[in-house]
Amino acid sequence: MIVLSEFGLALNRISIFSVTSAMSLKEIFKWVWGVWALQGTIAVAGDLQSSGFFYDVHYYRYSEPGFMNENSRLPAISIGFRDESALRQPDEQRIFAGTLEASFGPIRYRGSGERNSAFYKFLAELYYPVYKDAYLVYAGLGYRMLFDNLGPGVTTTGAGGYDRLSQYVYIPIGVFSRQDDGSGLKAQLNLLARGRQKSFFTQIAGYGNDPENDQKTGYGLEFSYTTPDGGWEVYARHWGIRNSSQTNVYRSDGTQSGTAIEPENTTTEVGVRFAF
């Protein structure tokens, strides 16, 4: 969150400080490779090529370029249920496919100082096959909610921390291809229909409202490879969201102190998912 005009209270997402460099691509894949190496020791009972429960471990990064970033300090974890039989099984007669997922991850905030935090995420997607031949094309509806538990409290420089609630409604459009060896390749584009960000400024003394900003422009990408037996898969997700609309910010006495926007930002996840 950026306050365009405010009255001197310290906020963790306002001032422009130097930001610790991002984890390199090499480090990300080294981390994922270590997780993948463990999969041979895990008993697999489900099948990601049809339907069932799953869990995953993944690397998470959120960035507002030039302002702040949040990175995994321990692997984030997810648990969920999905039924993609209508996408992945050529003779399946089911009409719809879908997934439900809940995630938790310890993260480190770096921007106006540093602070340990955590995020909680819920995701739901419903798909409908629109074309089926050598490959399958589908479209649907998605919802993503993420709660960033950064407040209340202060960073290492004394800047105030606050919680943030992020919600996206989007339209997933994707392609699935079953390979000759039985493995699966999936690519998905998520078109943002509406985003809403709520920043809990009232967790910081002196602020009188929790601004809510609408986001109208953004996209997501997701890619995955599933093994022939459906026991595990690797995946990558990315979101890119443009600047939000402006909203008013008020002091605790009710007078307006300025306006605020949610700045352009990106979110990246890279992980390994297992059926159970």
Residues in the chain: 276
Residue 1 · residue 165 · CB < 8 Å: no
Concatenated DSSP letters for 36-103? HHHGGGS---S-TTSEEEEEEEEEEEEEETTTEEEEESS-EEEEEEEE-HHHH-TT---S-EEEEEEE
**Domain definitions of the chain by residue range:** 2-275
pLDDT tens digits, 143-178? 999 999 998 888 888 888 899 999 999 999 999 999
Q: How many percent of the chain have pLDDT more than 70? A: 83
pLDDT tens digits, 211-261? 999 999 999 999 999 999 999 999 999 999 999 999 999 999 989 989 999
pLDDT of 148 = 96
Q: Which residues contact 66 (CB under 8 A, 6 or more apart)?
A: 16, 19
What is the pLDDT confidence band of residue 78, given thresholds at 50, 70 and 90? very high
Interval 128-136 mean pLDDT = 89
- CATH number for the domain running over 2-275: 2.40.128.100
Q: Give the residue with greater pLDDT, 272 vs 45.
A: 272
> Considering the chain, what is the average pLDDT of its residues?
86
